[in-house]
Structure 1
Amino acid sequence: MALYQQVTGLEPHPKSDGDFTGLNREDGLVIGFQRVDGYPAPRWPDHRSPTASHLLQGQRGPGGSRGRLLELGAGKPDHQPHELARARVLTDPAGHPFCIVRG
């Protein structure tokens, strides 16, 4: 969750515990993270393993540049489905893929 907190600038949810944590915005938006025992980490681009969500992050957001995301612990998979497109796939430290989109 630390990567997403740095990227979005959102505050930790006040009711976080060992099984649920989240990031929330003043208007009530919450991005939630839930612990699932035995959950297999996704393996991009293998769609047979669950990815649970697909987040898009604009590079103009706080901490949104690819270099900054890599410094924060994101991974850059070899497989990039849209090599010439504006989007690039990165993975969070748990292996969940997300896209960054150039502005």
Structure 2
Amino acid sequence: MVTTLPLFAVTIDCPDPAGLARFYRAFLGGELSFSPNEDFTALVVDGSVRLDFQRVANPAPTRWPEPGAARRLHLDFVVDDLDQAEKHLLGIGAVLADFQPGGRRYRVLFDPAGHPFCIATRSAASIREHA
């Protein structure tokens, strides 16, 4: 018998959980839920995707792409218009990465805590495009 283990959240370590959650809410929308001790904030988007933000006091992250950096996870988001989404994200605190390996297909940015994430058009995000 196979047991299904559904993913219920992605947790992002950061020094300011509430601040980073507000950044992602300004981009994705959704509902915020704060913990009483300020060390944890959750963002539920569309009632099904949950991003958790957990306080971890750590030094500034290594810049991407850094071959010697620890392995990391990053988030990818589909947007309708790359230029418009980039402009909005820069306006709410994101930083555009100097190195852009996707050309015109996708963009790499950093959130206010320094985590890399990508925005891509629906066609660029298609599994068929990566196969």
Indicate the TM-score class for this superposition, using the shorter chain for normalisation: 0.7 to 0.9
Preserved CA contact (<8 Å) 1:56 1:98 = yes
Aligned residue number for residue 10 of structure 1:
30
- RMSD over aligned Cα atoms: 2.5
- Structure 1 gap ranges (5+): none
Instruction: Please identify which structure carries the higher helix content.
Output: 2
Distance 1:52 1:17 in 2: 27
Aligned pair count?
100
Aligned residue number for residue 95 of structure 2:
75
Whether 1:36 aligns to 2:48 is no
Instruction: Please identify which structure carries the higher strand content.
Output: 2
Q: Cα distance 1:87–1:19, how it changes in 2: closer, same or farther (>3 A)? A: same
Higher relative contact order (CA 8 A, sep 6+): 1
TM-score (norm 2): 0.64
Larger radius of gyration: 2
Preserved CA contact (<8 Å) 2:29 2:45 = no
Query: Counterpart of 1:83 in 2: which secondary structure?
Result: coil
Offset from partner CA, 1:30-77 (integer Å, 9 cap, x none): 20011112344231111543475311112239xx71110111110011
TM-score (norm 1): 0.78
